[in-house]
């Protein structure tokens, strides 16, 4: 891997510095450590490079016309860009505490400027979800909150997940990535299950990332319909959606 010159560092004081490395055509984001916080294939800047990040879009199996999509934790802006470009009728909001991450995404990862549909906010995700003005306004909530040590989600309390639940509209869906030390998995899953009507998760993908889907109201699941939707998602957006349905089916069999 090669690092860019130090002039390409983004290190406003008070927050972890944001840096990038490039290897075999993929640009990766780091927060002052070796942990990869996001990635972009330079030849395909609008595609979602990492498989677990693609899986965060699994809500598409259940909703195809969201009006408001919110991303907590900007990462390399892959989800924010993808949702902004592929859902032109939706408002897209991203919440990121670290101004260095926002700056590097604008300069190195193709994050477009804010406009009437896109709003990237520099603020604490907890402040966003606990603000009553945001309650009931979100169709899709995508949560991927990690600090530079990446030991586990930085927000994982019952109060946080309750606030996420409160932000969702009646048929709202939250997808979240659970990664880190093993004890974090059960803790997060059990906390989500206390709050949400239905919580499912897929088998872990690379580097022990597990994507969880939490429903404000439990959906009716018809696998023939989900496979049909997965085929449409693959044709339209080139995402491996059939594997998502396979994972959901496997999860349900394991629960029986």
Q: What is the pLDDT of residues 79-95, one digit of tens each?
A: 999 999 999 999 999 99
Q: What is the pLDDT of residues 10-39, one digit of tens each?
A: 887 778 888 889 999 999 998 877 778 889
In this predicted structure, what is the pLDDT of residue 9?
Answer: 58
pLDDT at 4 over 70: no
DSSP bridge partners of 20: 29
Q: What is the pLDDT of residues 89-124, one digit of tens each?
A: 999 999 999 999 999 999 999 999 999 999 999 999
Contact 79, 142 (CB under 8 A): yes
pLDDT at 51 over 60: yes
In angstroms, how far is the first alpha carbon of the chain from the final one? 45
What sign does the dihedral 217-223-229-233 (CA atoms) show?
positive
Average pLDDT over residues 173-186: 76
Average pLDDT over residues 51-59: 92
Instruction: Please state the three-class secondary structure of the chain as a single string.
Output: CEECCHHHCECCCCCCCEEEEEECCEEEEECCCCCCCEEEECCCCCCCCCHHHHHHHHHHHCCCCCCEEEEECCCCCHHHHHHHHHCCCCEEEEEECCHHHHHHHHHHCCCCCCCCCEEEEECCHHHHHHCHHHCCCEEEEEECCCCCCCCCCCCCCHHHHHHHHHHEEEEEEEEEEECCCHHHHHHHHHHHHHHCCEEEECCCEHHHEEEEEEECCCCCCCHHHHHHHHHHHHHHHCCCHHHHHHHHHHHHHHHC
pLDDT at 6 over 50: no
pLDDT at 164 over 70: yes
């Amino acid at each position: 891997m090669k690092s860019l010159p130090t002039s390409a560092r983004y290190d406003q004081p008070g927050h972890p510095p944001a840096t990038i490395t490039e290897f075999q055509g993929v640009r990766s984001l780091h927060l002052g450590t070796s942990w990869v916080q996001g990635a972009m294939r330079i030849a395909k800047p609008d595609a979602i490079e990492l498989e677990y990040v693609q899986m965060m879009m699994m809500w598409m199996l259940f909703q195809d016309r969201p009006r408001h999509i919110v991303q907590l934790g900007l990462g390399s802006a892959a989800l924010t860009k993808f949702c902004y470009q592929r859902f032109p009728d939706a408002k897209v909001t991203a919440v990121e505490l670290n101004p260095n991450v926002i700056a590097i995404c604008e300069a190195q990862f193709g994050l477009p400027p804010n406009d009437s549909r896109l709003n990237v906010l520099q603020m604490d995700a907890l402040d966003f979800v606990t603000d009553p003005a945001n309650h009931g306004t979100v169709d899709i909530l995508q949560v991927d909150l990690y600090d530079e040590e990446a030991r586990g989600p930085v927000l994982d309390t019952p109060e946080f997940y309750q606030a996420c639940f409160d932000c969702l509209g009646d048929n709202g869906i939250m997808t979240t990535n659970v990664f880190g030390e093993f004890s974090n998995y059960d803790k997060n899953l059990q906390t989500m299950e206390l709050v949400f009507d239905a919580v499912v998760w897929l088998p872990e993908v690379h580097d022990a990332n597990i994507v969880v889907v939490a429903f404000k109201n439990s959906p009716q699941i018809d696998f023939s319909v989900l496979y049909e939707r997965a085929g449409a998602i693959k044709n339209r957006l080139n995402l491996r959606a059939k594997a998502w349905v396979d994972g959901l089916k496997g999860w349900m069999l394991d629960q029986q």
